[in-house]
Amino acid sequence: MEKQNKLIFNMLSRLTNYLILLFLFALPFQTRWIIEYGILNNRPWEFGTISLYGTEFFLWLIVILTGIRIFGRPDFWKSFSNCRINADYFKMHKKNILAVLIFLFSTAVFIRSGNPISWQFTTWFLGGICLMISIAVSELSFSRAGMTLWLSGVVQGVLAVQQFFYQKIIGSKWLGMSAQNSSDSGVSVVQFGDERWLRAYGSFGWPNSLGIYLAVIFVLGLILYFYFSKTKWRILILVGQLIILTGLLLSFSRGAWLAAVGGLLIFGLIAWNNLPFEFTRRKFYSQFVKQLAVYAVLVISLVTIYFPVFTNRFNTGNYLEYLSITERQDQLNVAGQMISDNLFFGVGPGLYTNYLARYFVSPTYGVYQPVHNIFLLALAELGIFVFLFILVFVFWLIKKIGRAGPIYFSVLTVLFLAGFYDHFLWSLYAGQLIWWVVLALGLMLKKSQSNIEK
C-alpha cells in the first residue's frame, strides 16, 4: 500500500511539473471565454469585462494537484497531529503566521464589495499567490522553469518582429490575438508626418504590456546565461536574447525600455559585491561586457535604420506623444484626489475605472483608464491598510529571495520600475500573474544549489 501511494504521488508530482511548464509557456497568450462584455458610458470597457482565461484552467489544476500532493500524504497529517502549539511554536513561526494573517485580512477586504469585477480581481490575486506557492514547492529546477518562461519570451519576440515588419497583426481567437492594422483607428502607433508605424503587440492587448513582459524576460535571460556553464546553452541564450531585445525595442514602450536599463544596471552593481554562480570577478565582467557590447550593436543598428520612428517617441511636439504625456499627468491628479477621498478603504478591487466614471468628469481623451502607476492604483482601490499589508508581504518574499540570490533583485527591479509607468501589472490578469511567477522563480533560485545543468 505504501509503495502504491508513493507511485501515485510521484505521478502527481510529474503531472504538476508538466502543467507548470505549460502554464509558464502559455502565460502571454490571452485566449479567453468572455462571460460578460464590459460596457461603460456606451463604450467597450476592458476593465469591466468578466472573462475566464485559458491559462486559468491550468492554474487551478496546478493548485489542486499541489494541494493533493502536500495535504494528501499520510506523513503530513501525522506530523501535524504531533506538533505542539505553544508559545515557542508561535515564536519560531511568527513570520509565516503574520503572512497568513495578512493574506486572510486582505482577502476579506478584497471581497467586501460583492461586485463581480471585484470577485474576478480577487480570484486572480488569490490564484496568483497559490500559483507562486505551487511553483516554489514543486520539484522543478530553476533552470527548467526559467528556460520555459524565457522561451515563451523568445516566441513573443518573434511575433513582435513579424508584426512590425508586416505592419499588421493577424487575428486568432485561439491565441487571444485580435487583428490590427496601422491604419485602423484606436491602434497604438508611432506617428511622424503622415506615416503611422504600428507598435508591436505580441500576443498581448497593448504594446506596453508586451514591452514590460519582454523587459522582465530579457533580464531573466541574462541570469540564465550565467547560470548555465555549457557553451552551447550560452550561445542559444544569446541568440534568443537578441530576438527578445528586438521585440522589446519594437514595442516602443518607453517605460519598459527604462525598466530594462534599470534591471541591467542593478545586475551589474549587485554582481560587484555578490558574484553569482561561483564566478571570479574578472571572468564575470568579461562575459558581462561582451553581452552588453552585442546588445549595443543591435540597439544602435535598429535605431539607425528607424531613426525617425524612435526619435518621434520622445518628441513632445508630436501630437500622439503630447497626448500620451498629458493624459498621464491628468491621471496622476485624478488618482491623488481619489486616494484622498477613499484613503482608508479604497474604492474596491478592480473598480478604479468604474469609480472614475461615476464621480469624475468624462475623460479628456474618450476612454476611462487606470492611472499608469500600480502603486497609486493599488492604494486607490484597496485603501492604505490593505495596501501596506500586501506591500509588507511582497517585501518579506523579496527578503527571502535576496538571502541566497541577490542577483535576482535585477529582475524584480524591472517589475518595480515598470510599475511606476504602467497599470498592466495590477489591472490585468496576465500582469498580475507575471508578478507572482517572477517571485516564484526567485524562490526557486534560492533553493538552487548548483549553476550547472546536468
Q: Please report the pLDDT score of residue 321 as a whole number.
A: 64
Statement: residue 257 has pLDDT above 90 = yes
pLDDT band at 111 (very low <50, low <70, confident <90, very high): low
Residue with cell 535571460: 221
Instruction: Work out the mean pLDDT of the chain and round it to a whole number.
Output: 84
pLDDT surpassing 90 at residue 182: no
88 part of a folded domain: no
The reply to whether 317 falls in a domain is yes
Q: Is residue 42 part of a domain?
A: no
Give the model confidence (pLDDT) of 40-95 as tens digits: 877 788 888 999 999 999 999 999 999 888 777 666 555 555 555 444 544 555 55
Q: Is residue 136 part of a domain?
A: no
**Does 23 map to a domain?**
no
Report if residue 122 sits inside a domain: no
Q: What percent of the chain has pLDDT over 70?
A: 84
**Inter-residue contact 370 to 48 (CB < 8 Å):** no
pLDDT, position 282:
81
Least trusted range by pLDDT, from 48-52, 178-182, 340-344, 355-359: 355-359
The total domain count for the chain is: 1
pLDDT tens string 376-430: 999 999 889 889 888 988 988 888 888 767 888 999 999 999 999 999 999 999 9
Asked if residue 358 is part of any domain, the answer here is yes
pLDDT in tens, 321-335: 667 777 778 888 888
| Torsion sign (Cα): 375, 378, 382, 386 | negative
Whether 453 shows a pLDDT value over 70: the answer reads no
Q: 143 and 224 in contact (C-beta within 8 Å)?
A: yes
Q: Output the pLDDT for position 179.
A: 86
Q: 135: which 3 cell numbers?
A: 511553483
Which tops the pLDDT comparison, 93 or 141? 141
- How does residue 366 score in pLDDT terms, banded at 50, 70 and 90? low
| β 189-192/195-198 pair status | antiparallel
- The cell numbers describing 198, all together, are 504600428
Q: Which domain holds residue 208?
A: 141-447
User: What size, in residues, is the chain?
Assistant: 454
At residue 228 the predicted structure's pLDDT band, cuts being 50, 70 and 90, is confident
Greatest distance between any 2 Cα atoms in the chain: 75
Q: Is residue 43 part of a domain?
A: no
Rounded Cα distance, 254 and 161, in Å? 18
Arithmetic mean of pLDDT, 298-313: 91
Q: What pLDDT is stored for residue 237 in this prediction? A: 94
